[in-house]
Amino acid sequence: MRMLQRILAPTLIAVVALWCALSPAQTGTGSKAPGGPNAASPKELDRVIAVVNNDVITANELAARERSIERQLRGQNIQMPPPDVFRKQVLERLIMDRALSQLAREQGLRVDDGQLDAAFARIAEENRLTPTQLRARIEADGIGIASFRDDLRSEMLIARLREREVDARVQISEADIDAFLAEQRDAVTAPPEYSIAQILLRIPEGASPEQIERQRLRGEEIVRQIAAGADFARLAAAFSDAPDAMSGGLIGLRPADRLPPLFVSAVEKLQPGQTAPLQRSPNGFHVLKLLERKEAGLGKLATQPIEQTLARHILMRPSELVPEPEVQRRLRQIRERVVSGAADFGDMARQYSIDGSAGRGGDLGWVYPGDTVPVFENAMNALKPGEISEPVRTEFGYHLIQVLERRTDTASPERLRAAARQALRERRTQEALEDWLRQVRDRAYVEYREN
C-alpha cells in the first residue's frame, strides 16, 4: 500500500498501460526507401505483414521491435524462444499496441508536443541523464529520435486510454470496504504476499469448444515441460499472451488480498519454485509458478503496532538549466541555513520545493513503512527527530529530509480504510484490465499477410 504515491508517485512512463509497460520502443519507421542506384545488390522493399483495422504493420517495424525485445530479454538473462515463435509473439504485441493506439485516437485523446517533451525529460531524469544525453544514447543505439518520440506518444495515449476505460470505472463503495475489513478481522493470520509468474493462454470471446480444447492441451503440455525442467521464463516469452510475457511472466510481489482469488487459491499450498496445475479463468488458461511467499498484508497493519515517522522534505530536480551539482549545492546551502537557525525548513520548502507538498511546508504527514521509495525511506530512518539529511538522490530528484517525530502505534481507522480501498482497487483493476484488453483485441479486425 502506498499512501504517499500522490506525493512521491512514479512518473507516467513508469506506470504506462500494462501492455506497454514491458514493450521497448519500436525503432522501425516503415519507410519504403529502396537501395540507391549505385547499390552493390538490390534491397528488398518494405512490405506489409499485417493489417490492423485501418492501419498496417510493416516488416521493418516488426524486425525493429524484434531487435529491441531481444536486447531486453538478453539483458534480463531470459533464454530466447525459437525464432518463429518469438516472431509471432512480437507481432501479436505490435497488433495489440496498434489496436489500443487507434482506439485512443478514435476517442479524441491527444498528446501535444509540450506534453511529449515533458515526458521525454522525465525519462532522461529517471536515467540520470539530461535530455540531450538521452537523445545521444538513443541515436547511438541506432534508434531514430523521431521514431522514439512517436512510440513514446503512443504509450502516453494508451496510458490515458487505460485511465479512462479501466481505472476510472473501478468503483469501491463504503460497503465494499466494510466487507473487506470484516474479512481481514476474521482471518486468523495476516494474508501473505506472493511473488508469482504466469503464462496466459488467451481464449477469444465466443471461442468454439475446439479452440478452448486446443488451448487447454497447449497449457497441459507447457505444465509438463516445466515439470521436466524447462525454463519458465523462456516458455512465457514464447507462448504467453499476458502483457508480462516478455519479462518472463513475472507479476511481482503482491499481497494475497491484491491478487485475483484464482491465483491465490492456485499457489497458496505450493512451495516456492513449484508450479500449479493448469487454471481456467474467463480470460483463458493460466500456468502459475510461485516464486516467493512473505508473511505480510493488511491484517498486520490492523493488528500490530507499527513505527510511523512524521517527516517533511524539500525536492529539487536537475535540468539542463540547473545541473545536478548546482541542485546539490543549493540544497546544502538551504540545509546550512536551517541548521544554523537562519531559515525555517517549512518556509524553504514553500519557496524552493517542486513537490506537491510544498504548499504545506513540505509536510508528508505520518509516513508508514513502504509508503516511500526505499532510498528515501532508508535515509529517513537513519535520522533522529529534529535532524535534517544531506541531499538524498531518488528517481524523482534530490531531497532534503527532516524527521519531526516518531511514534509506534496501530494504524488509524482512516488509514485502514484507505489501505482497504487501495487493496480492493488494485485487485479489481487488474481483473478489469485483463478483460478489457481481451475485448479490444477481439474487436479489432486483423488480417495477416504472411504465415
Q: Residue 408 in 3-state DSSP? A: strand
- What's the mean pLDDT in 336-363? 93
**Cβ within 8 Å of residue 311, ≥6 positions away:** 364, 367, 380, 401, 402, 403, 404
**Cβ within 8 Å of residue 89, ≥6 positions away:** 81, 237, 238, 239, 240, 245, 246
Q: Is the distance from CB of 447 to CB of 322 less than 8 angstroms?
A: no
Crossing angle of the two packed helices 413-443 and 174-186, in degrees rounded to 10: 110
Q: What confidence score (pLDDT) does residue 75 get?
A: 65
The domain made up of 3-31+46-165 is a member of CATH 1.10.4030.10: yes
- What's the mean pLDDT in 239-251? 78
Q: What confidence score (pLDDT) does residue 375 get?
A: 86
C-alpha cell at position 62: 516488426
Domains 188-300+429-448 and 305-409 share a fold: yes
Q: CA torsion, points 411, 414, 416, 418, in degrees to nearest 10? A: -130
Instruction: Report strand pairing: 55-58 vs 250-255.
Output: unpaired
Q: Is the distance from CB of 7 to CB of 356 less than 8 angstroms?
A: yes
Q: What confidence score (pLDDT) does residue 12 get?
A: 33
Q: What confidence score (pLDDT) does residue 200 get?
A: 92
Q: Is the distance from CB of 289 to CB of 274 less than 8 angstroms?
A: yes
Q: What confidence score (pLDDT) does residue 296 get?
A: 54
Looking at the predicted structure, is the pLDDT value of residue 362 above 90?
A: yes
Burial per residue of 135-164, b for 16 or more beta-carbon CB atoms within 10 angstroms, e otherwise: beebeeeebeeebbbbbbbbbbbbbbbbee
| Sole residue written with cell 514493450 | 23
Segment 43-96, tens digit of pLDDT: 557 889 999 998 999 998 898 888 877 877 776 666 677 788 888 888 988 999
Specify the amino acid at residue 367. V
Looking at the predicted structure, is the pLDDT value of residue 308 above 60?
A: yes
Question: What is the SS3 string spanning 346-368?
Answer: HHHHHHHCCCCCHHHCCEEEEEC
Looking at the predicted structure, is the pLDDT value of residue 302 above 80?
A: no
- Residue 246: band (very low, low, confident or very high) from pLDDT cuts 50, 70, 90: low
Cα gap 444→270, rounded to integer Å? 38
Segment 141-150, tens digit of pLDDT: 777 788 888 8
Segment 219-240, tens digit of pLDDT: 999 999 999 888 888 888 888 8
Looking at the predicted structure, is the pLDDT value of residue 195 above 80?
A: yes
Q: Is the distance from CB of 367 to CB of 380 less than 8 angstroms?
A: yes
**Cβ within 8 Å of residue 409, ≥6 positions away:** 305, 306, 308
% the chain with pLDDT above 90: 28
Which stretches of 157-269 are assigned E, i.e. beta strand?
Answer: 192-202, 250-255
Q: Where are the domains of the chain?
A: 3-31+46-165, 188-300+429-448, 305-409
- Residue 42: band (very low, low, confident or very high) from pLDDT cuts 50, 70, 90: low
Q: What confidence score (pLDDT) does residue 68 get?
A: 77
From the options 3.10.105.10, 3.10.50.40, 3.40.190.10, 3.40.50.720, give the CATH code of 305-409: 3.10.50.40
Q: Is the distance from CB of 395 to CB of 126 less than 8 angstroms?
A: yes
Which CATH fold topology does 188-300+429-448 show? Answer: Chitinase A; domain 3 (3.10.50)
Segment 387-416, tens digit of pLDDT: 999 999 887 889 999 999 998 877 777 777
